[in-house]
Structure 1
Amino acid sequence: MQLPPDEESRLTINIVPMIDVVFAVLAFFILSTLYLTRAEGLPVALPRATTAESQEATLTLTITAEGNLFLGQQPVTLEALSDEVQALIEPGQTAMVTVRADMATPHGQVVAAMDRIRDLDGVRLGIATQRP
């Protein structure tokens, strides 16, 4: 009596679903990175500095070339600046406020804004620059 030969089924690994998942994760990280770069604030031409260091900012104060002030994305006046910053900071916590001033902004406008913020307790100031 003869038995039929055993048909060995070949085992295969289908990597197409894995490639789909890898591309989906890659697309997520690319899109989230693009969003993070836009979240910094309004577009301004930052001054260049070779000694620039990266720091975590709690709040961002943007001063445009025309001298307009924006706390985050919201417009704010110089008179209301300290009250707005104080409202966004939790009591007893230290906050880092980064000033993103355009190169064409008058120096007096930047100093006046920084002077208003410096009077607040628990607030540290930083000036945003970009590397040359």
Structure 2
Amino acid sequence: MAFRKRARPTATIPQVNLVPMMDVLMSVLTFFIITSMSLTGERIDRVTLPGNPGENGTTAIPEDIRQLMIGFTADEQIVLDGQVLTEAELLAAIENFLAEDETGVIVLNADRTLPYEKIAALLNIMGQIGGDRVSLAIQRQ
């Protein structure tokens, strides 16, 4: 009698299914990408957005520092010492002020009804000459 050898059940090699793990990793990656996109935004150099002094990184200008106060009216006129100026005249006035006083600060008082884009454009122009000494005035509430 011939005996047949019984075939032994072969042990199966364990397998790791990577698809669910990749799904979880992609979900986490998507979450971080969306979160980081909402935290970033376009920033304008040397401009602190309006708020109360001491909040949001804003500080009050000390009283002993000389200030050049510039107005920006609701009808988009630039006013200095009661006179309406063009942008070229304003830039010349800023240069003269900074030449006279190296520690002076330039402050823009803009009408609150103006679109912020117009205020930001004027601040950008002023900042090209005044650098980090150009500020936007805010009103305490």
TM-score between both structures, scaled by the size of structure 2: 0.50
Residues 116 and 48 (structure 1), Cα distance of their counterparts in 2 relative to 1, 3 Å cut: closer
Ranges in structure 1 where 5+ consecutive residues have no aligned partner: 1-46
1:129 Cα deviation after fit = 0.9
- The one of 58, 69, 76 equivalent to 1:60 is 69
Percentage of matched positions with identical amino acids: 21
Amino acid of the structure 2 residue aligned with 1:97: I
Q: Secondary structure at the match of 1:119?
A: helix
Rounded to whole Å, the distance in 1 between the matches of 2:106 and 2:133 is 6
1:49 Cα deviation after fit = 2.5
Rounded to whole Å, the distance in 2 between the matches of 1:81 and 1:48 is 23
Matching of residues 109-124 of structure 1 within 5 Å: 109-120=118-129, 124=133
Rounded to whole Å, the distance in 2 between the matches of 1:65 and 1:127 is 15
- The one of 44, 49, 52 equivalent to 2:51 is 49
Q: Secondary structure at the match of 1:59?
A: strand
Larger-Rg structure: 2
In terms of fraction of residues, the more helix-rich structure is 2
Matching of residues 24-35 of structure 1 within 5 Å: none
Rounded to whole Å, the distance in 1 between the matches of 2:87 and 2:60 is 26
Ranges in structure 2 where 5+ consecutive residues have no aligned partner: 1-48
Q: Secondary structure at the match of 2:96?
A: helix
Partner of 2:95: 86
Partner of 1:130: 139
- The one of 43, 61, 80 equivalent to 1:71 is 80
Rounded to whole Å, the distance in 2 between the matches of 1:93 and 1:48 is 25
Residues 8-30 of structure 1: per-residue CA shift (max 9 Å, x gap): xxxxxxxxxxxxxxxxxxxxxxx
Rounded to whole Å, the distance in 2 between the matches of 1:123 and 1:93 is 12
Give 4+ residue runs of structure 1 displaced > 6 Å after superposition: none
1:126 Cα deviation after fit = 1.3
Q: Secondary structure at the match of 2:129?
A: coil
1:96 Cα deviation after fit = 0.5
Q: How many residues align?
A: 86
Q: Secondary structure at the match of 2:79?
A: strand
Residues 32-56 of structure 1: per-residue CA shift (max 9 Å, x gap): xxxxxxxxxxxxxxx9733364314
